[in-house]
A = this chain, B = another copy of it.
Amino acid sequence: MLSKTYTKYIQSLHHKKFRDADNAFIAEGSKVVMELLQSPVFSCQQVLGLQQWMQENEMLIRTTYRGPLQVIENFELEKITALTTPNQVLAVFKKLKPIPVDPKGKISLVLDTIQDPGNLGTIIRIADWFGVEAIICSDNCTDMYNPKVVQSTMGSLGRVNVVYTNIADWLKKNEHIKIYAAALNGKKISQLKGITEGIVVIGNESKGISDEVMQLCAEKITIPKTGHAESLNAAVATGIILSHMVQ
């Protein structure tokens, strides 16, 4: 039986204010929870799962996790979930300490005001696919520990270093690295190939890259359009640009 106090505690973690105060966040669903439990960087506080899920997964969980496991009922999961359709298991993890990013000799991503949690999570997953180690988010990007972000990363959260900062200041400090801006009127991405060092800036879903940040970029790059859509989804654009840079 889940106590009222602990139920309220988990519900509070749906909100950034309380995640910051408690330095904790929730992950949900079998795939994401198992990946984070097996990640060497995350520390888990508590796993809460339906009986059948717990029976099927306890042995595997115990290979990496020694903390509390609690069997809960469906109605209890429904109270604490942040998903529309709760998915068998929810776990509470400690947030990570951000690691300072050195962009030398690698490709890094900078996100300017990405506000949709699904987009941020998908971008983290894309970075993990293409071996991008770090994402530098503007302070007003959506929180990486928002439950919907955690869900969309599909477990990549432990393999990409995500930091929040004033991105204009950060870019100024790293002007010796070439900075590319995803824009509508730049060089065709097919001309980018075998790039091993660079910073790629992706802008807000509707407003693009802010003027202040755009001025710090050395080159605009563009995904050529052969049809009629006004724009591409920010995560899709990120995936396309990275796929051309690293090929």
Contact = CB atoms under 8 A, between A and B. Distances in A.
Interface of A: 118, 122, 125-132, 152, 154-156, 159, 188-190, 223-233, 235-237, 239-240, 243-244, 246-247
B224 A154 contact: no
A228 B127 CA distance: 9
A231 B130 contact: no
Q: In the complex this chain forms, how many copies of it are found? A: 2
A126 B236 contact: yes
B155 A227 contact: no
Can you list the 5 inter-chain pairs with the closest CB atoms, starting with the nearest?
Answer: A131-B227, A131-B226, A128-B229, A236-B239, A129-B229
A159 B227 contact: yes
Contacts of A132: 227
A195 B49 CA distance: 49
B243 A156 contact: no
A129 B232 contact: yes
A159 B226 CA distance: 13
A125 B236 CA distance: 10
A81 to B, nearest CB: 15
Contacts of A131: 226-228
B227 A130 contact: yes
A75 B175 CA distance: 51
18 contacts: A118-B118, A126-B232, A126-B233, A128-B227, A129-B223, A129-B226, A129-B229, A129-B231, A130-B225, A152-B233, A155-B229, A155-B230, A156-B228, A159-B229, A224-B246, A235-B236, A240-B243, A243-B244
